[in-house]
């Protein structure tokens, strides 16, 4: 496993756009939780994005010049941090992002995207997307979650439509106590 802040295990999910990374994660997260795990998630966004809505106070204050905007309620909080100094098109530093998570509230970190990052990855591959597998080209693919009948991969093939099997693989790979 790759060393990282807080010694939380990290598993990446990598795939071509439209392959179902988010769909799989949305099903794997409850399967992990059912096994007593507390996953945190970091997702890479390829474009400028906003979680605020124009017209909301937090959006207006951030756009007025607040470099950091934390919105809090009794149920959740969200921190938006402007990073214009790093707006060079490069992928954000994954270790820095992981360090922003609260390690007391997580057992592992699931990372969506960050294909080139140095971490173990599960590739989501669906032949129907019409793209070749990524594992020959990207580092760290330890398993492929797929609906392909067969695949020339020297490692575990996981059924992409069975989130319980993917969750079990993650728990075993990370040596987490179920």
- Please report the pLDDT score of residue 128 as a whole number: 96
Structure tokens at 153: 């991969």
Q: Is 142 helix (H, G, I), strand (E, B) or coil?
A: strand
Using 50, 70 and 90 to split pLDDT, how confident is the model at 1? very low
Which range has the worst mean pLDDT, 38-42, 52-56, 131-135, 161-165?
Answer: 52-56
Question: How far apart, in whole angstroms, are the C-alpha atoms of residue 97 and residue 128?
Answer: 33
- Please report the pLDDT score of residue 14 as a whole number: 96
Question: How far apart, in whole angstroms, are the C-alpha atoms of residue 111 and residue 108?
Answer: 10
Q: Residue 142 pLDDT more than 80?
A: yes
Domains and CATH numbers, the chain: 5-44+91-173 (3.40.50.300), 50-88 (no CATH)
Question: How far apart, in whole angstroms, are the C-alpha atoms of residue 152 and residue 129?
Answer: 17
Average pLDDT over residues 159-169: 98
Q: Residue 154 pLDDT more than 60?
A: yes
- Please report the pLDDT score of residue 47 as a whole number: 63
Q: Residue 59 pLDDT more than 70?
A: yes
Work out the mean pLDDT of the chain and round it to a whole number: 88
Q: What is the pTM of this model?
A: 0.87
- Please report the pLDDT score of residue 49 as a whole number: 67
Q: What confidence tens digit (pLDDT) does each residue in 66-88 have?
A: 888 888 888 888 888 877 666 66
Enclosing H/E stretch for 21: helix 21-34
Average pLDDT over residues 171-176: 96
- List, as one string, the DSSP characters of 162-178: -HHHHHHHHHHHTT---
DSSP state of 118: S
CA angle 33, 34, 37 (to 5 degrees): 35
CA angle 110, 145, 36 (to 5 degrees): 45
Average pLDDT over residues 88-92: 70
Q: Identify which has the larger pLDDT, 46 or 61.
A: 61
Question: How far apart, in whole angstroms, are the C-alpha atoms of residue 77 and residue 174?
Answer: 28
- C-alpha count within 13 angstroms, C-beta hemisphere, residue 5: 14
- Please report the pLDDT score of residue 107 as a whole number: 95
Question: How far apart, in whole angstroms, are the C-alpha atoms of residue 18 and residue 168?
Answer: 24
Mean pLDDT is highest, among 42-56, 63-77, 149-163, for 149-163
Structure tokens at 71: 């919105």
- Please report the pLDDT score of residue 55 as a whole number: 86
């Amino acid at each position: 496993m790759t060393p990282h802040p807080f010694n939380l295990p990290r598993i990446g999910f990598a795939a071509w756009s439209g392959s179902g990374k988010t769909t799989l994660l949305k099903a794997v997260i409850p399967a992990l939780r059912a096994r007593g795990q507390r996953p945190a998630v970091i997702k890479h966004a390829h474009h400028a994005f906003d979680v605020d809505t124009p017209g909301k106070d937090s959006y207006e204050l951030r756009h007025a010049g607040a470099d950091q905007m934390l919105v809090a309620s009794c149920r959740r909080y969200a921190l938006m941090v402007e990073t214009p100094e790093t707006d060079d098109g490069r992928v954000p530093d994954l270790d820095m992002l992981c360090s922003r998570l609260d390690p007391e509230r997580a057992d592992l970190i699931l990372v969506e995207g960050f294909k080139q990052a140095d971490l173990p990855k599960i590739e989501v591959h669906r032949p129907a997307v019409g793209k070749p597998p990524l594992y020959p080209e990207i580092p760290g693919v330890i398993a492929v979650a797929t609906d392909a009948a067969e695949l020339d991969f020297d490692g575990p093939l996981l059924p992409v439509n069975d989130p319980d099997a993917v969750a079990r693989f993650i728990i075993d790979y990370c040596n987490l106590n179920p």
